[in-house]
Structure 1
Amino acid sequence: MRERHASRDARRAREFEAFVAGAAGRLLHAATLLTAEAPDANPRARRLLALSLAHTYASWDRLHGEDPYDRTRQHLATRFARDAWHRYGALGGARRRPAGTLGRLSPQERLILVLRLYEGVAEEQTAALLGLPVERVRTICDRATATLLHPRPAPAAPVAAEAKAATP
């Protein structure tokens, strides 16, 4: 009996290691896009990925034909959304914006944009995953895309405007 458990555990570990070897790079990139961190300095993305992979490993025997990549991506997205809700409230109220192109977007906009455009998840699946109407997902994705394609210039700092007015 003990040998059978050891053999099953070893097989499970090999299968999971093969999955991680094939999927971890893409999942880490998705997590990095979500957190809007730099690719070479992404501790939040790495933690998000590690927690998502741990969750997948814990439920590995219960997947029963489900795609482990899809399951891990779902957990990654829901964990990011929950963390953003707890950190910023309402997915991005008052917060410090991360640097970089995606930093201009709210966490909710980043999440939907990454799922839709980078991961290729259908609007209906994204809406179901996030508990939003399909129309809302479409609107948020369109707004996020427009923000990235047509960025607004940052408003002038009040100090610079005062200094400009003071010069003769």
Structure 2
Amino acid sequence: MSEEITASYRSDADTNLQGLKWANYKPVWVWWTVWILIGLFSIGGLRHFTTKQHPSVQDFVISLCPIALGVWVVLHQKSEEARMVREAQASESVGQLVTWHFSSEGFTFDEAGQTMPWTSILRSDSSKDGVIIKLRNELSTWLPKTAFTSEAEYSRFLDLLAAKTKHSKLS
């Protein structure tokens, strides 16, 4: 493919937040597993506490640990969501025009115009909203689907990305 694919968008807090959420994505089965285990241990702990004739303080603490873990998980999730919102709003890229150019030789993502080889991408993950590109220098960047001029252009980009990088789809 010798034709260049261009993606361009004006960065804003909502787009950045969308990228951060996908960058921190965990499959649904992970959360179901966590909550099922917390539920089972909570039931077991409460059953242990209520079936003893003379429960001790230790029995009480043991029965409440899974419930406390569940509360911690909820608070941690809310804290992470709040952190992502703050980070998205405080990003230096807010308001800037971000432009990417992709070709079979490599890609550029700044106005300096230096083409970087595909090998500088460690991996890429696509979602229904866009693509997370993880570079070898431990930086990640978000490229929203709306940055492309059409669905066909986005599909061509995904095909090129899959051919040139270690690529996976997030659900």
Computing the radius of gyration from Cα coordinates, the structure with the larger value is 2
**Normalising by the residue count of structure 2, what TM-score does the alignment of the two structures yield?**
0.24
Which has the larger share of strand? 2
Flag the structure with more relative contact order, 1 or 2, with Cα contacts below 8 A and sequence separation at least 6.
Answer: 2
**Normalising by the residue count of structure 1, what TM-score does the alignment of the two structures yield?**
0.24
